[in-house]
């Protein structure tokens, strides 16, 4: 079996337990089984020019963690990755802050990572890079002579060609993606958008199902919807934390239901719209007074980027205004937590909440939707209210699907969720749980690795042959 080499912006802690999240754990398990390397940024800013990576060997696995210079962090991480690609790929052209220095820094870091990774590679390795930070990595590795099979998985959406064209680097980005052998997306929509770009703007041709001829090579382009460790998360949810248990009992005594939202405080997650929908629900249904609370957990993220400060202020103002308008001395309708909450508490909090409110304006998949379902008691499950613009909505059709821009519509579906009869809740939940359990993290991993392994009859290593050039943009 070939070794696996995982490259991601941040290198994971390979000694961490399930407490840290299913995805890193699933990838770490695959690494332990096959042996290999996990390479990425160590999260630190060091020196003027970065520095050498540190290597930690754990059994058959090497964890290689590279520092970045403050300038690289500014240009590559906060700059091109999070002020250009993140908003652009989430259809938010209004928030794109394009600066040539950002792209130069992005390319520089991808190249540095490639150079630092090469000494750790063996000819038969399968290289799998993750997400929008590393689009250019395969190209740099190829230029350094690497011929291994290389795969790329995009965790976030891929926009339609018209939107992608707003980036002056669109051709370079797509061309660089074609240096990979497998390009994986979360949904049909994302893979479809990429294929549309190929058809409209490159000479790549489809030669079989999801197979594209690019120069002398064949590139596989497909969707690989990501999943969670459903069984592990369900076990975590049942193992209720003492404080969470007491909070649940208190609510039961008071006859109060809870709506829960858990998201990094990111403008893609639709938090202000969600808050307004809860306000609209209370306005339209005065009978709900003192019977329902909305708990929003929104830990800080990327605070150095201006757009994140703006969303925080907007959300805090909205939470304050709803509480000011509806609270009583013994009821606070909105509880807003701007701190991370441990996974051991999150899971039972999901289980004790009658509605999971997951309403991003755009999201690659959204794991919270899946975690909420996995955490429920199948005999008395809560209801998932899910944005049609989350990748998860492509398959989780038994959720109450909402348009996050339609505040009244969301308020109506919240009311429907709170009043849904037990039988209907059970029926919807059983179908959702079946999906989340089958389409789990291991299934996702196995599907991607099956696509990445060398095609039958073709040895592991093959030439980094020429690829398609771009037609004039
Ligand atoms: C990207 C894509 C795609 C959140 N707050 C806390 C906490 N979380 C955990 C959740 C969940 C994870 O973080 C968030 O995952 P999401 O999928 O919801 O969203 P992104 O972070 O934007 O992830 C997304 C994903 O990649 C995977 O491909 O689904 O579309 O944007 O696991 O539970 N965990 C803890 N405390 C918190 O306060 N412990």
CATH number of the CATH domain containing 205: 3.40.50.2000
Q: What is the pLDDT of residue 53?
A: 94
- Residue 307, pLDDT above cutoff 90: no
C-beta 346 within 6 A of ligand 1: yes
Domain match, 333 and 184 both: no
CA distances from residue 142 to 28, 37, 114, 318, 454 in whole angstroms, order as listed? 26, 18, 9, 50, 17
If asked whether residues 407 and 274 sit together in one domain, one would say yes
Atom of ligand 1 nearest to the CA of 343: 39
Q: Is residue 473 part of a domain?
A: no
The residues with which 58 forms a beta bridge, in sequence order, are 61
Distance 365 CA to ligand 1 centre (A): 10
* Paired tokens of 335: 């509880």
242 and 372 part of one domain:
yes
* Residues 323 and 393 both lie in one domain: yes
Whether residue 429 sits in one domain with residue 412? yes
Identify the band that residue 1 occupies on the pLDDT scale cut at 50, 70 and 90: confident
Q: Is 343 in the pocket of ligand 1 (CB under 6 A)?
A: yes
CA nearest neighbour of 88 among 172, 176, 177, 157: 157
Residue 186 CA, closest ligand 1 atom number = 28
- Per the prediction, the chain carries an average pLDDT of 93
Å from CA of 222 to ligand 1 middle: 23
Give CA separation, 445 vs 25, 138, 192, 229, in Å. 11, 20, 21, 11
Query: Could you tell me the pLDDT band of residue 456, with boundaries at 50, 70 and 90?
Result: confident
- For ligand 1, atom 1, which residue shows the shortest CA distance? 155
In a domain, 76, yes or no: yes
Output the residue whose Cα is nearest ligand 1's atom 8. 263
Closest alpha carbon to 149 in 219, 76, 56: 219
> How much is the average pLDDT of 14-31?
71
Residue 458 has pLDDT above 70, yes or no: no
Q: Calculate the CA dihedral of residues 408, 411, 416, 417 and round it to 10 degrees.
A: 140
Q: Is residue 206 part of a domain?
A: yes
Cβ of 281 below 6 Å from ligand 1 = no
| pLDDT tier for residue 305 given thresholds of 50, 70 and 90 | confident
What is the average pLDDT across 127-142?
97
For residues 112 and 119, what is the distance between their CA atoms, to the nearest angstrom? 12
When mean pLDDT is compared across 78-92, 319-333, 419-433, 447-461, the lowest value belongs to 447-461
Residue-level pLDDT at 45: 87
Confidence (pLDDT) at 17: 57
| Mutation choice for ligand 1 from 366, 373, 389, 447, CB with most ligand atoms inside 8 A | 366
Whether residues 284 and 191 share a domain: the answer is: no
- Same structural domain, 347 and 410: yes
Mean pLDDT on 262-271 = 96
* Pocket of ligand 1 contains residue 175 by CB under 6 Å: no
Q: Which two tokens stand for residue 413?
A: 């579906």
Q: 16 CB less than 6 Å from ligand 1?
A: no
pLDDT band per the 50, 70, 90 thresholds, residue 262 = very high
Least confident of 330-339, 413-422, 458-467: 458-467
Question: Looking at the structure, do residues 347 and 206 belong to the same domain, yes or no?
Answer: no
CA of 360 to the centre of ligand 1 (A): 12
The predicted structure's pLDDT at residue 15 = 76
Number of domains in the chain: 2
If asked whether residues 199 and 250 sit together in one domain, one would say no
Q: Phi then psi for 216, rounded to 5 degrees?
A: -100, 5
338 alpha carbon to ligand 1 midpoint, in Å? 15
Domain-embedded: residue 472:
no
Closest Cα to atom 10, ligand 1: which residue?
368
**For strand 355-358 and strand 334-337, is the pairing parallel, antiparallel, or unpaired?**
unpaired
Q: Are 126 and 4 spatial neighbours (Cβ–Cβ below 8 Å)?
A: yes
The atom number, within ligand 1, closest to the CA of 269 reads 22
Instruction: Report, as an integer, the average pLDDT of 205-224.
Output: 96
151 and 102 assigned to the same domain: yes
- CA–CA dist 210, 50 (Å, integer): 39
Residue % of the chain over a pLDDT of 90: 83
| Residue 192 falls inside a structural domain | yes
| 363 flagged as catalytic | yes
Ligand 1 atom closest to Cα of 299? Answer: 38
C-alpha span between 211 and 207 (Å, rounded): 6
Among residues 133, 155, 170, 201, the one annotated as catalytic is 155
Split at pLDDT 50, 70, 90, the class of 417 is very high
Residues in Cβ contact with 82 at an 8 Å cutoff, skipping those fewer than 6 apart: 302, 305
Rounded average pLDDT over 449-472: 61
Has 155 been annotated as catalytic? yes
Residue with the smallest CA separation from ligand 1 atom 34 is 343
Which residues constitute the domain of residue 24?
Answer: 4-227+441-467
Among the listed residues 75, 181, 229, 363, the single catalytic one is 363
Asked if the model's pLDDT at residue 18 lies above 60, the reply is no
Task: Looking at the CA of residue 21, tell me the nearest atom of ligand 1.
Answer: 32
Ligand 1 binding pocket includes 390 (Cβ within 6 Å)? no
Compute, in angstroms, the gap from residue 371 CA to the centroid of ligand 1: 10
DSSP conformation class of 267: G
Query: Structure pTM?
Result: 0.95
Confidence of residue 16 (pLDDT cuts 50, 70, 90): low
Q: Is pLDDT above 60 for 242?
A: yes
Predicted confidence at residue 473, as pLDDT, reads 34
Q: Residue range 253-270: average pLDDT?
A: 95
460 and 398 within one domain: no
pLDDT (average), residues 64-82 = 96
Alpha-carbon distance of 194 to 222, in angstroms, equals 10
**Spacing, Cα 97 to ligand 1 middle (Å):** 24
- What atom of ligand 1 comes closest to residue 369's alpha carbon? 18
- My answer on whether 189 and 216 are in the same domain is yes
On whether residue 416 sits in a domain, the answer given is yes
Label residue 470 by pLDDT band (50, 70, 90): very low
């Amino acid at each position: 079996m070939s070794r696996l080499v995982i490259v991601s912006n941040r290198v994971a802690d390979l000694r961490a337990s399930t407490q840290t999240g299913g995805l890193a754990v699933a990838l770490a398990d695959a690494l332990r089984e096959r042996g290999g390397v996990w390479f990425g940024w160590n999260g630190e800013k060091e020196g003027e020019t970065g520095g050498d990576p540190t290597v930690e060997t754990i059994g058959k696995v090497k964890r290689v963690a590279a520092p970045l210079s403050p300038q690289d962090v500014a240009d590559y991480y906060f700059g091109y990755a999070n002020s250009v690609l993140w908003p652009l790929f989430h259809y938010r052209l209004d928030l794109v802050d394009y600066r040539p220095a950002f792209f130069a820094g992005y390319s520089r870091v991808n190249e540095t990572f490639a150079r630092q990774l090469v000494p750790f590679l063996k000819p038969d390795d399968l290289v799998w890079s993750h997400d929008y930070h590393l689009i250019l990595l395969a190209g740099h590795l190829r230029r350094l002579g690497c011929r291994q099979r290389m795969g790329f998985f995009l965790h976030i959406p891929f926009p339609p060609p018209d939107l992608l064209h707003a980036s002056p680097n669109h051709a370079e980005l797509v061309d660089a993606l074609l240096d990979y052998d497998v390009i994986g997306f979360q949904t049909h929509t994302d893979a479809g958008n990429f294929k549309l770009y190929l058809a409209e703007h490159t000479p790549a041709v489809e030669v079989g199902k999801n197979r594209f001829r690019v120069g002398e090579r064949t590139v596989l382009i497909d969707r690989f919807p990501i999943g969670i460790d459903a069984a592990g998360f369900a076990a975590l949810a049942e193992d209720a934390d003492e404080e969470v248990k007491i909070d649940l009992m208190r609510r039961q005594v008071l006859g109060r239901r809870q709506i829960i939202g858990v998201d990094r405080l990111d403008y893609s997650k639709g938090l202000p719209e969600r808050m307004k929908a809860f306000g609209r629900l209370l306005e339209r249904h005065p009978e709900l007074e003192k019977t329902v609370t909305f708990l929003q957990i929104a830990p800080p993220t990327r605070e150095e980027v201006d757009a994140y400060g703006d969303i925080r202020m907007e959300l805090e103002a909205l939470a304050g205004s709803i509480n000011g308008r509806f609270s009583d001395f013994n009821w606070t309708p909105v509880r807003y937590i701007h701190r991370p909450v441990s996974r051991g508490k999150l899971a039972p909090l999901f289980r004790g909440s009658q509605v999971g409110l997951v309403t991003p304006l755009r999201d690659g998949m959204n794991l919270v939707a899946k975690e909420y379902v996995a955490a429920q008691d199948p005999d008395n499950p809560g209801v998932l209210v899910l944005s049609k613009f989350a990748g998860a909505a492509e398959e989780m059709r038994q959720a109450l699907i909402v348009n996050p821009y339609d505040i009244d519509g969301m308020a109506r579906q919240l009311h429907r969720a709170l009043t849904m009869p037990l039988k209907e809740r059970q029926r919807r939940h059983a179908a959702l749980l079946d999906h989340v359990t089958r389409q789990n993290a291991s299934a996702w991993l196995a599907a991607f690795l099956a696509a990445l392994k060398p095609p039958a009859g073709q040895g592991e290593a093959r030439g980094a042959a020429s690829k398609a050039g771009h037609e004039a943009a």
